Amino acid sequence: MSQDWDAGRLDSDLDGVAFDTLAVRAGQHRTPEGEHGDPMFFTSSYVFRTAADAAARFAGEVPGNVYSRYTNPTVRAFEERIAALEGAEQAVATATGMAAILAVVMSLCSAGDHVLVSRSVFGSTISLFEKYFKRFGVEVDYVPLAELSGWDAAIKANTKLLFVESPSNPLAELVDITALSEIAHAKGAMLVVDNCFCTPALQQPLKLGADVVVHSATKFIDGQGRCMGGVVAGRGEQMKEIVGFLRTAGPTLSPFNAWIFLKGLETLSLRMKAHCANAQQLAEWLEQQGGIEKVHYAGLKSHPQHELAQRQQKGFGAVVSFEVKGGKDGAWRFIDATRLISITANLGDSKTTITHPSTTSHGRLAPQEREAAGIRDSLIRIAVGLEDVADLQADLARGLAAL
Protein backbone atom coordinates (compact mmCIF):
# COMPACT_ATOMS: atom_id res chain seq x y z
CA MET A 1 0.00 0.00 0.00
CA SER A 2 1.29 3.44 -0.88
CA GLN A 3 2.15 5.61 2.09
CA ASP A 4 -0.05 8.31 0.49
CA TRP A 5 -3.26 6.31 1.10
CA ASP A 6 -5.16 6.82 4.36
CA ALA A 7 -8.01 4.35 4.84
CA GLY A 8 -9.49 6.27 7.76
CA ARG A 9 -12.79 4.80 8.99
CA LEU A 10 -12.59 2.03 6.38
CA ASP A 11 -10.20 0.22 8.73
CA SER A 12 -11.41 -1.14 12.08
CA ASP A 13 -10.31 0.39 15.38
CA LEU A 14 -8.78 -2.58 17.21
CA ASP A 15 -7.43 -0.85 20.31
CA GLY A 16 -8.12 -3.03 23.33
CA VAL A 17 -10.17 -5.67 21.53
CA ALA A 18 -10.18 -9.35 22.53
CA PHE A 19 -8.51 -12.35 20.91
CA ASP A 20 -11.49 -13.47 18.84
CA THR A 21 -11.91 -9.99 17.36
CA LEU A 22 -8.22 -9.86 16.44
CA ALA A 23 -8.54 -13.29 14.80
CA VAL A 24 -11.23 -11.90 12.49
CA ARG A 25 -9.99 -8.37 11.81
CA ALA A 26 -6.31 -7.80 12.65
CA GLY A 27 -3.96 -7.14 9.74
CA GLN A 28 -6.53 -5.95 7.22
CA HIS A 29 -5.78 -2.57 5.65
CA ARG A 30 -8.45 -1.68 3.13
CA THR A 31 -7.55 -0.36 -0.28
CA PRO A 32 -9.26 2.55 -2.11
CA GLU A 33 -11.74 -0.05 -3.40
CA GLY A 34 -13.23 -0.32 0.10
CA GLU A 35 -13.39 -4.13 0.05
CA HIS A 36 -14.89 -5.85 3.08
CA GLY A 37 -13.12 -9.19 2.60
CA ASP A 38 -9.36 -9.73 2.59
CA PRO A 39 -8.03 -9.10 -0.95
CA MET A 40 -5.56 -11.37 -2.72
CA PHE A 41 -2.60 -9.63 -4.36
CA PHE A 42 -1.33 -11.88 -7.14
CA THR A 43 1.74 -10.03 -8.35
CA SER A 44 5.42 -10.81 -8.41
CA SER A 45 6.56 -7.18 -8.55
CA TYR A 46 5.30 -3.64 -7.95
CA VAL A 47 5.30 -0.45 -10.02
CA PHE A 48 7.04 2.66 -8.76
CA ARG A 49 6.10 6.26 -9.47
CA THR A 50 9.67 7.33 -10.25
CA ALA A 51 13.20 5.96 -10.29
CA ALA A 52 13.81 7.81 -7.04
CA ASP A 53 10.75 6.11 -5.49
CA ALA A 54 12.11 2.69 -6.53
CA ALA A 55 15.53 3.46 -5.09
CA ALA A 56 14.07 4.64 -1.79
CA ARG A 57 11.96 1.52 -1.38
CA PHE A 58 14.81 -0.84 -2.26
CA ALA A 59 17.00 0.98 0.25
CA GLY A 60 14.32 0.73 2.92
CA GLU A 61 14.16 4.50 3.27
CA VAL A 62 10.40 4.63 2.69
CA PRO A 63 7.74 1.97 3.32
CA GLY A 64 6.16 0.11 0.44
CA ASN A 65 6.29 -3.12 -1.51
CA VAL A 66 9.36 -4.08 -3.49
CA TYR A 67 9.08 -7.72 -4.62
CA SER A 68 6.71 -10.49 -3.52
CA ARG A 69 9.54 -12.76 -2.45
CA TYR A 70 9.59 -10.72 0.73
CA THR A 71 6.78 -8.15 0.68
CA ASN A 72 3.20 -8.84 -0.38
CA PRO A 73 0.06 -7.19 1.05
CA THR A 74 -1.87 -10.45 1.50
CA VAL A 75 1.05 -12.15 3.19
CA ARG A 76 1.62 -9.08 5.35
CA ALA A 77 -2.01 -9.16 6.50
CA PHE A 78 -1.54 -12.75 7.66
CA GLU A 79 1.72 -11.87 9.40
CA GLU A 80 0.15 -8.94 11.23
CA ARG A 81 -2.80 -11.06 12.35
CA ILE A 82 -0.53 -13.80 13.73
CA ALA A 83 1.61 -11.20 15.50
CA ALA A 84 -1.52 -9.76 17.12
CA LEU A 85 -2.71 -13.18 18.26
CA GLU A 86 0.67 -14.28 19.63
CA GLY A 87 1.40 -10.93 21.28
CA ALA A 88 4.51 -10.48 19.11
CA GLU A 89 6.08 -7.32 17.76
CA GLN A 90 6.30 -8.89 14.31
CA ALA A 91 5.65 -12.16 12.48
CA VAL A 92 7.23 -13.46 9.28
CA ALA A 93 5.48 -16.02 7.05
CA THR A 94 7.28 -18.89 5.31
CA ALA A 95 6.46 -21.51 2.69
CA THR A 96 6.10 -24.37 5.23
CA GLY A 97 6.47 -25.05 8.91
CA MET A 98 9.87 -26.64 8.28
CA ALA A 99 10.90 -23.48 6.41
CA ALA A 100 9.98 -21.52 9.54
CA ILE A 101 12.41 -23.60 11.63
CA LEU A 102 15.03 -23.29 8.89
CA ALA A 103 14.62 -19.51 8.85
CA VAL A 104 14.98 -19.22 12.63
CA VAL A 105 18.24 -21.18 12.87
CA MET A 106 19.78 -19.74 9.69
CA SER A 107 18.95 -16.21 10.80
CA LEU A 108 19.81 -16.36 14.50
CA CYS A 109 22.69 -18.87 14.61
CA SER A 110 26.18 -19.08 13.13
CA ALA A 111 28.78 -21.83 12.75
CA GLY A 112 30.11 -22.62 16.22
CA ASP A 113 26.84 -21.83 18.00
CA HIS A 114 25.21 -24.51 20.11
CA VAL A 115 21.49 -25.42 20.00
CA LEU A 116 19.66 -27.58 22.51
CA VAL A 117 16.66 -29.45 21.10
CA SER A 118 13.98 -31.43 22.90
CA ARG A 119 14.06 -35.16 22.22
CA SER A 120 10.30 -34.92 21.75
CA VAL A 121 10.06 -33.11 18.42
CA PHE A 122 8.78 -33.94 14.95
CA GLY A 123 10.96 -36.40 13.04
CA SER A 124 11.73 -33.97 10.23
CA THR A 125 12.84 -31.39 12.79
CA ILE A 126 15.44 -33.83 14.09
CA SER A 127 16.53 -34.60 10.53
CA LEU A 128 16.94 -30.88 9.80
CA PHE A 129 19.21 -30.41 12.79
CA GLU A 130 21.13 -33.67 12.35
CA LYS A 131 21.64 -33.80 8.57
CA TYR A 132 21.90 -30.13 7.66
CA PHE A 133 22.53 -27.69 10.51
CA LYS A 134 25.35 -29.85 11.89
CA ARG A 135 26.88 -29.90 8.41
CA PHE A 136 27.30 -26.12 8.57
CA GLY A 137 28.94 -26.07 11.98
CA VAL A 138 26.00 -25.71 14.35
CA GLU A 139 26.43 -27.90 17.41
CA VAL A 140 23.29 -29.80 18.45
CA ASP A 141 22.43 -31.76 21.58
CA TYR A 142 19.13 -33.27 22.76
CA VAL A 143 17.44 -33.03 26.15
CA PRO A 144 14.34 -34.76 27.57
CA LEU A 145 11.57 -32.20 27.21
CA ALA A 146 10.19 -32.03 30.74
CA GLU A 147 13.47 -32.30 32.68
CA LEU A 148 14.34 -28.72 33.59
CA SER A 149 17.52 -29.77 35.40
CA GLY A 150 18.67 -31.51 32.22
CA TRP A 151 18.24 -28.32 30.19
CA ASP A 152 20.13 -26.29 32.77
CA ALA A 153 23.00 -28.78 32.87
CA ALA A 154 23.27 -29.04 29.08
CA ILE A 155 23.60 -25.31 28.34
CA LYS A 156 27.11 -24.32 27.27
CA ALA A 157 28.86 -20.98 26.93
CA ASN A 158 28.08 -21.01 23.18
CA THR A 159 24.44 -22.10 23.49
CA LYS A 160 22.33 -19.78 21.36
CA LEU A 161 18.91 -21.42 21.24
CA LEU A 162 16.74 -23.87 23.11
CA PHE A 163 14.13 -25.43 20.80
CA VAL A 164 11.02 -27.23 22.04
CA GLU A 165 7.58 -28.40 20.99
CA SER A 166 5.07 -28.07 23.81
CA PRO A 167 2.82 -30.04 23.54
CA SER A 168 5.05 -32.45 21.66
CA ASN A 169 4.36 -34.61 18.63
CA PRO A 170 2.95 -37.22 19.15
CA LEU A 171 3.04 -37.89 22.92
CA ALA A 172 1.58 -34.56 24.14
CA GLU A 173 4.50 -34.01 26.51
CA LEU A 174 4.89 -30.52 27.96
CA VAL A 175 7.57 -28.34 29.42
CA ASP A 176 7.07 -25.50 31.86
CA ILE A 177 7.69 -22.69 29.36
CA THR A 178 8.11 -19.97 31.97
CA ALA A 179 10.64 -21.97 33.98
CA LEU A 180 12.57 -23.02 30.88
CA SER A 181 12.70 -19.44 29.58
CA GLU A 182 14.19 -18.33 32.89
CA ILE A 183 16.85 -21.03 32.63
CA ALA A 184 17.67 -19.97 29.06
CA HIS A 185 17.79 -16.24 29.80
CA ALA A 186 19.95 -16.69 32.88
CA LYS A 187 22.65 -18.11 30.59
CA GLY A 188 22.17 -15.75 27.64
CA ALA A 189 20.23 -18.12 25.38
CA MET A 190 16.88 -17.73 23.60
CA LEU A 191 13.90 -20.06 23.88
CA VAL A 192 12.07 -21.05 20.68
CA VAL A 193 8.69 -22.79 21.04
CA ASP A 194 6.90 -24.68 18.31
CA ASN A 195 3.28 -23.78 19.12
CA CYS A 196 1.74 -25.78 16.29
CA PHE A 197 -0.38 -28.13 18.40
CA CYS A 198 -1.95 -25.44 20.59
CA THR A 199 -2.04 -22.39 18.28
CA PRO A 200 -2.34 -18.98 19.96
CA ALA A 201 -5.98 -19.80 20.71
CA LEU A 202 -4.83 -22.20 23.44
CA GLN A 203 -1.32 -21.01 24.32
CA GLN A 204 0.78 -17.86 23.85
CA PRO A 205 4.40 -18.84 24.58
CA LEU A 206 5.76 -15.30 24.22
CA LYS A 207 3.61 -14.20 27.15
CA LEU A 208 5.04 -17.12 29.14
CA GLY A 209 8.62 -15.97 28.52
CA ALA A 210 9.61 -17.54 25.19
CA ASP A 211 11.55 -15.41 22.70
CA VAL A 212 10.37 -16.89 19.39
CA VAL A 213 7.30 -18.87 18.34
CA VAL A 214 7.09 -21.01 15.20
CA HIS A 215 4.08 -22.63 13.55
CA SER A 216 3.28 -24.98 10.77
CA ALA A 217 0.29 -23.01 9.51
CA THR A 218 -0.51 -26.10 7.43
CA LYS A 219 -2.12 -27.55 10.55
CA PHE A 220 -4.76 -25.91 12.73
CA ILE A 221 -4.25 -22.37 11.43
CA ASP A 222 -5.52 -23.54 8.05
CA GLY A 223 -7.83 -26.05 9.69
CA GLN A 224 -9.02 -27.89 6.60
CA GLY A 225 -5.89 -29.49 5.12
CA ARG A 226 -5.82 -27.25 2.05
CA CYS A 227 -2.34 -25.78 1.75
CA MET A 228 1.08 -25.46 3.34
CA GLY A 229 2.78 -22.60 5.13
CA GLY A 230 4.63 -21.54 8.25
CA VAL A 231 5.18 -18.49 10.39
CA VAL A 232 7.68 -17.17 12.93
CA ALA A 233 6.78 -14.55 15.56
CA GLY A 234 8.87 -12.62 18.06
CA ARG A 235 10.62 -9.32 18.68
CA GLY A 236 11.25 -6.92 15.83
CA GLU A 237 15.04 -7.19 16.06
CA GLN A 238 14.89 -10.97 15.61
CA MET A 239 12.31 -10.83 12.84
CA LYS A 240 14.46 -8.31 10.93
CA GLU A 241 17.10 -11.02 10.62
CA ILE A 242 14.53 -13.54 9.45
CA VAL A 243 13.12 -11.13 6.86
CA GLY A 244 16.67 -10.72 5.55
CA PHE A 245 17.05 -14.48 5.23
CA LEU A 246 13.77 -14.82 3.34
CA ARG A 247 14.64 -11.89 1.09
CA THR A 248 17.83 -13.65 0.04
CA ALA A 249 16.98 -17.35 0.22
CA GLY A 250 13.33 -17.11 -0.78
CA PRO A 251 11.33 -19.74 1.22
CA THR A 252 8.38 -17.36 1.33
CA LEU A 253 4.64 -17.87 1.56
CA SER A 254 2.42 -17.50 -1.50
CA PRO A 255 -0.33 -14.84 -1.42
CA PHE A 256 -3.02 -17.45 -2.08
CA ASN A 257 -1.94 -19.61 0.85
CA ALA A 258 -1.76 -16.51 3.05
CA TRP A 259 -5.36 -15.71 2.11
CA ILE A 260 -6.44 -19.26 3.00
CA PHE A 261 -4.76 -18.90 6.39
CA LEU A 262 -6.49 -15.56 6.99
CA LYS A 263 -9.81 -17.31 6.47
CA GLY A 264 -8.70 -20.11 8.81
CA LEU A 265 -7.82 -17.67 11.58
CA GLU A 266 -11.33 -16.23 11.53
CA THR A 267 -12.69 -19.50 12.97
CA LEU A 268 -9.60 -20.63 14.89
CA SER A 269 -10.94 -20.13 18.40
CA LEU A 270 -14.25 -21.85 17.66
CA ARG A 271 -12.56 -24.76 15.95
CA MET A 272 -9.98 -25.32 18.69
CA LYS A 273 -12.71 -25.44 21.34
CA ALA A 274 -14.54 -28.09 19.31
CA HIS A 275 -11.34 -30.04 18.61
CA CYS A 276 -10.50 -30.05 22.31
CA ALA A 277 -13.98 -31.15 23.37
CA ASN A 278 -13.97 -34.07 20.91
CA ALA A 279 -10.42 -35.09 21.84
CA GLN A 280 -11.24 -35.08 25.55
CA GLN A 281 -14.21 -37.38 25.03
CA LEU A 282 -12.23 -39.77 22.85
CA ALA A 283 -9.25 -39.86 25.22
CA GLU A 284 -11.47 -40.66 28.19
CA TRP A 285 -13.26 -43.36 26.17
CA LEU A 286 -10.01 -44.92 24.91
CA GLU A 287 -8.64 -45.08 28.45
CA GLN A 288 -11.49 -47.41 29.37
CA GLN A 289 -11.10 -49.82 26.44
CA GLY A 290 -9.52 -53.25 26.53
CA GLY A 291 -6.58 -53.62 24.18
CA ILE A 292 -5.35 -50.09 24.94
CA GLU A 293 -2.22 -50.11 27.09
CA LYS A 294 -1.76 -46.37 27.55
CA VAL A 295 -3.34 -43.10 26.39
CA HIS A 296 -1.27 -39.93 25.99
CA TYR A 297 -3.39 -36.79 26.35
CA ALA A 298 -2.77 -33.90 28.73
CA GLY A 299 -6.49 -33.50 29.36
CA LEU A 300 -6.53 -36.78 31.27
CA LYS A 301 -5.95 -36.67 35.01
CA SER A 302 -3.65 -39.66 34.53
CA HIS A 303 -1.28 -37.56 32.39
CA PRO A 304 1.79 -36.66 34.50
CA GLN A 305 1.65 -33.02 33.37
CA HIS A 306 -2.10 -32.47 33.56
CA GLU A 307 -1.77 -29.66 36.11
CA LEU A 308 0.94 -27.91 34.07
CA ALA A 309 -1.29 -28.07 31.00
CA GLN A 310 -4.10 -26.48 32.99
CA ARG A 311 -1.78 -23.64 34.04
CA GLN A 312 -0.21 -22.69 30.72
CA GLN A 313 -2.84 -23.73 28.17
CA LYS A 314 -6.48 -22.74 27.65
CA GLY A 315 -7.27 -26.22 26.31
CA PHE A 316 -5.60 -29.59 25.88
CA GLY A 317 -5.48 -29.75 22.09
CA ALA A 318 -6.70 -32.19 19.45
CA VAL A 319 -3.93 -34.80 19.30
CA VAL A 320 -4.45 -38.05 21.20
CA SER A 321 -1.91 -40.86 21.07
CA PHE A 322 -2.31 -44.34 22.49
CA GLU A 323 -0.45 -47.62 22.67
CA VAL A 324 -2.14 -50.89 21.71
CA LYS A 325 -1.38 -54.51 22.41
CA GLY A 326 0.50 -56.43 19.74
CA GLY A 327 3.27 -53.98 18.84
CA LYS A 328 3.55 -52.88 15.22
CA ASP A 329 1.33 -55.68 13.93
CA GLY A 330 -1.40 -54.77 16.38
CA ALA A 331 -1.12 -51.06 15.54
CA TRP A 332 -1.36 -51.75 11.81
CA ARG A 333 -4.36 -54.07 12.27
CA PHE A 334 -6.07 -51.38 14.33
CA ILE A 335 -5.45 -48.67 11.73
CA ASP A 336 -6.43 -50.83 8.77
CA ALA A 337 -9.72 -51.82 10.41
CA THR A 338 -11.00 -48.24 10.57
CA ARG A 339 -13.37 -47.14 7.81
CA LEU A 340 -14.22 -43.49 8.57
CA ILE A 341 -11.04 -41.91 9.87
CA SER A 342 -8.45 -40.90 7.26
CA ILE A 343 -5.14 -42.76 7.27
CA THR A 344 -2.75 -39.85 6.78
CA ALA A 345 0.14 -38.32 8.70
CA ASN A 346 -1.24 -34.78 8.48
CA LEU A 347 -3.07 -33.19 11.39
CA GLY A 348 -5.01 -30.05 12.19
CA ASP A 349 -7.78 -30.93 9.75
CA SER A 350 -11.54 -30.80 10.30
CA LYS A 351 -11.39 -34.50 9.36
CA THR A 352 -9.96 -36.87 11.97
CA THR A 353 -6.72 -38.55 10.90
CA ILE A 354 -4.87 -41.63 12.13
CA THR A 355 -1.24 -42.63 11.65
CA HIS A 356 1.50 -44.94 12.89
CA PRO A 357 4.30 -42.54 13.93
CA SER A 358 7.19 -45.02 14.05
CA THR A 359 6.78 -45.86 10.35
CA THR A 360 5.59 -42.44 9.06
CA SER A 361 6.34 -39.10 10.74
CA HIS A 362 9.27 -40.56 12.73
CA GLY A 363 10.13 -43.40 10.36
CA ARG A 364 13.39 -41.87 9.15
CA LEU A 365 14.84 -41.80 12.66
CA ALA A 366 17.15 -44.58 13.81
CA PRO A 367 15.49 -47.11 16.15
CA GLN A 368 17.49 -45.81 19.11
CA GLU A 369 16.38 -42.24 18.35
CA ARG A 370 12.73 -43.31 18.28
CA GLU A 371 13.18 -45.18 21.53
CA ALA A 372 14.75 -42.13 23.16
CA ALA A 373 11.78 -40.04 22.02
CA GLY A 374 9.27 -42.60 23.30
CA ILE A 375 8.00 -43.49 19.82
CA ARG A 376 7.19 -47.17 20.22
CA ASP A 377 5.97 -49.52 17.50
CA SER A 378 2.70 -49.93 19.40
CA LEU A 379 1.92 -46.21 19.28
CA ILE A 380 -0.96 -44.77 17.23
CA ARG A 381 -1.69 -41.05 16.84
CA ILE A 382 -5.08 -39.59 16.07
CA ALA A 383 -5.63 -35.91 15.33
CA VAL A 384 -9.23 -35.46 16.34
CA GLY A 385 -11.41 -33.54 13.91
CA LEU A 386 -14.88 -32.08 14.04
CA GLU A 387 -17.03 -35.12 13.29
CA ASP A 388 -19.63 -36.50 15.70
CA VAL A 389 -17.77 -38.18 18.56
CA ALA A 390 -20.08 -41.19 18.55
CA ASP A 391 -19.13 -41.89 14.94
CA LEU A 392 -15.43 -41.62 15.78
CA GLN A 393 -15.86 -43.99 18.71
CA ALA A 394 -17.66 -46.49 16.49
CA ASP A 395 -14.83 -46.37 13.97
CA LEU A 396 -12.14 -46.80 16.63
CA ALA A 397 -14.15 -49.74 18.00
CA ARG A 398 -13.52 -51.45 14.64
CA GLY A 399 -9.83 -51.03 15.29
CA LEU A 400 -10.16 -52.45 18.80
CA ALA A 401 -12.02 -55.47 17.46
CA ALA A 402 -9.09 -56.22 15.13
CA LEU A 403 -6.54 -56.53 17.96
Q: Where are the beta strands (DSSP E) in 166-311?
A: 190-194, 212-216, 230-234, 292-296
Residue-level pLDDT at 71 = 92
Tell me the average confidence (pLDDT) per consecutive run of 10 residues in the chain, 403 residues long: 76 95 95 92 96 94 92 97 98 98 98 96 91 97 96 98 95 96 98 98 98 98 97 96 95 97 98 98 97 97 96 98 96 98 95 95 78 87 98 98 97
Average pLDDT, the chain: 95
Taking each helix axis from N to C end, the angle separating 389-401 and 268-287, rounded to the nearest 10 degrees, works out to 40
CA distance 338 to 75: 39
Helix or strand (DSSP H, E) at 271: helix 268-287
Q: Is the pTM value of this prediction over 0.75? A: yes
CA distance 208 to 307: 16
Which ranges in the chain are annotated with CATH 3.90.1150.10? 270-402
Cis peptide before 39 (omega within 30 of 0): no
| Chain segment 248-273, per-residue pLDDT in tens | 999 999 999 999 999 999 999 999 99
β-pair partners for 90: 234
Kindly tell me the burial class for residue 236, based on how many C-beta atoms sit within 10 Å of its own C-beta (0-12, 13-18, 19 or more).
exposed
Q: Where are the beta strands (DSSP E) in 156-302?
A: 159-165, 190-194, 212-216, 230-234, 292-296
Which ranges in the chain are annotated with CATH 3.40.640.10? 19-264
Residue 47's CB: how many other CB atoms inside 10 A?
8
Residue-level pLDDT at 369 = 78
Residue-level pLDDT at 1 = 52
Residue-level pLDDT at 3 = 60
Q: What is the third-level CATH fold of 19-264? A: Aspartate Aminotransferase; domain 2 (3.40.640)
Q: Where are the beta strands (DSSP E) in 195-263?
A: 212-216, 230-234
The architecture in CATH of the region 270-402 reads: Alpha-Beta Complex (3.90)
Kindly tell me the burial class for residue 280, based on how many C-beta atoms sit within 10 Å of its own C-beta (0-12, 13-18, 19 or more).
buried
| Chain segment 194-235, per-residue pLDDT in tens | 999 999 999 999 999 999 999 999 999 999 999 999 999 999
Query: Residue 177: which residues within 8 A CB-CB, separation 6 or more?
Result: 164, 166, 191, 193, 205, 208, 209, 210, 312
Residue-level pLDDT at 51 = 97
